[in-house]
Chains A and B, each alone.
Chain A
Amino acid sequence: MGGVKLVATTQSFFCTRVQWALKLKGVEYEFIEEDLRNKSPILLKYNPVYKKVPVLVHHDTPIAESLVILEYIDETWKENPLLPQDPCDRAAARFWAKFADEKVVFGVWTACTMEGEGKEKAIEAALESLAHLEKQIEGKKFFGGEQIGYLDLVLGWIPHWLNTMEEVGGMKLLEAEKFPCLIEWGQNFIHTPLIKECIPPREKLIEYLTASLSYLRSLAAKKP
């Protein structure tokens, strides 16, 4: 089953989660690095609706949206299943993935970008959402159980990207006394060889996030 391409950027964890899925299943793929400030004709052709990464291209057919891609990968390559078998467990994984992307990512990024009064409130909201995850991982090695699964990949940005966001955003979220289980999970996850080999170098990520933050703040400053 050849012909797999991934149009992506190294810095985006939405892209990395797809790489992790492909590697866990032993799928060979071609990584096509995209410059988001200068989007290529390939990206515009394969994702005309959103013009975003990641896009998986399989036998020249594109699939966009990282969570949709993860399920496609799981259904196409059967080894090392990402989602559990039982429909109820699958529903739980999907529920938490949605929560993760809509509340946790958004909450942490908002806390990162906010300045002044709003920052405290944003940090509180981010902590509240992280507390739900702490509860979910308690007593488990991975969100997927004994093995890395779908939800681990979806939350996999936490061990590396979150602490970089903390540094760039000038805040501390993942404190050891409040989130011991989440931190331990993060270490187990990020030190897994297949996982570790896909993460971007810290300095590049800091550079990228700092630039994104300045850009967003400059946009906010322009608003009336």
Chain B
Amino acid sequence: MGEEVKLFGVWGSPFSRRVEMALKLKGVEYEYFEEDLQNKSDLLLKYNPVHKKIPVLLHKGKPIAESAVILEYIDETWKGFPLLPKDPYQRATARFWARFVEEKCMPALFNCTVAEDRKKAVEEAHETLKLLENELKDKKFFGGEDIGFVDIVADFIGGYWLRDIQEIVGLELLTKEKFPKLCEWSDEFVNHAVIKECLPPRDKLFAFFRTRFGSKS
């Protein structure tokens, strides 16, 4: 289209990586700006004054914030490689599970790294993963034969973030024994031709989490 597309993100953030995945899947060219969250740029504060957070997408000079909102904007603006299905009920299902990942799964998983009662936290996290595993059923991706909206929103789980954190912190969250389908999906996710270009550098991410979480036994 020739209009400028800019993305303000952070290399290690699953939220800004989601947006990159969507843009790359649709073959949209964009300019990327790495933000320093300890020293937020004037542009970030101008484009997202409400939350002052990344990611922010800038298209034709207009900013859009909140990764799930950005994903829907991208899907509506660039029609190649649809992220959401056409059927309203299937779209509702995708949006429902995307919300579930964001509002239930991710907080439950994070909580395992800080909760005093770790056993209880892990049980609760497992409950959310079980629901996700049941939703995936025998599909290759949540989107069906190829990556879709839910797969992208669940990047924290499918990508290296969760694997690294659980290894470093010593948690058994996404295991083959308990969640064989999710594990298989996760392997498909990180090996997907486009997705793998969008994941943060493995070593760098691992090192970052090691510094952040230390090694707890």
Contact = CB atoms under 8 A, between A and B. Distances in A.
B2 interface: no
B201 to A, nearest CB: 30
A94 interface: yes
Binding site of B, secondary structure by majority: helix, strand, loop or mixed? Answer: helix
Interface string B59-84: 11010111011101100110000000
Contacts of A160: none
Contacts of B73: 87-88, 90-91
Interface stretch (A62-70, A106-114, A196-204, A211-219): A62-70
A167 interface: no
B137 interface: no
A49 B69 contact: no
A11 B69 CA distance: 29
B99 A68 contact: yes
Interface stretch (A12-20, A28-36, A71-79, A187-195): A71-79
B72 A68 contact: no
A68 B76 contact: no
A76 B96 contact: no
Binding site of A, secondary structure by majority: helix, strand, loop or mixed? Answer: helix
B69 A88 contact: no
Contacts of B59: 88
A49 B91 contact: no
B114 interface: no
Contacts of A71: 91-92, 95
Given A68-B99, A71-B95, A87-B73, A63 B64 contact: no
Contacts of A75: 88, 91
B62 A88 contact: yes
A40 interface: no
Contacts of A95: 64-66, 69
Interface size class of A (residues with CB under 8 A): 20 to 34
A49 B89 contact: no
B100 interface: yes
B131 interface: yes
A132 to B, nearest CB: 6
Given A68-B96, A99-B50, A76 B88 contact: yes
Contacts of B62: 88
B92 to A, nearest CB: 4
Contact of A98 (B69, B77, B91, B93): B69
Given A91-B69, A132-B50, A72 B91 contact: yes
A153 to B, nearest CB: 16
Given A63-B89, A76-B88, A132-B50, A91 B64 contact: yes
A80 interface: no
A5 to B, nearest CB: 15
A95 B67 CA distance: 10
A68 B100 contact: no
A147 interface: no
Nearest to A61: B89
Contact of B72 (A72, A90, A99): A90
A91 B70 contact: yes
A63 B94 CA distance: 11
Contacts of B99: 65, 67-68
Given A75-B91, A87-B76, A91-B64, A64 B96 contact: yes
Interface in A82-121: 87-88, 90-92, 94-95, 98-99
9 contacts: A65-B95, A68-B99, A71-B91, A72-B91, A75-B88, A88-B73, A91-B70, A92-B64, A95-B69
Closest 6 pairs (CB-CB, A-B) = A75-B88, A87-B76, A72-B92, A91-B73, A91-B64, A94-B69
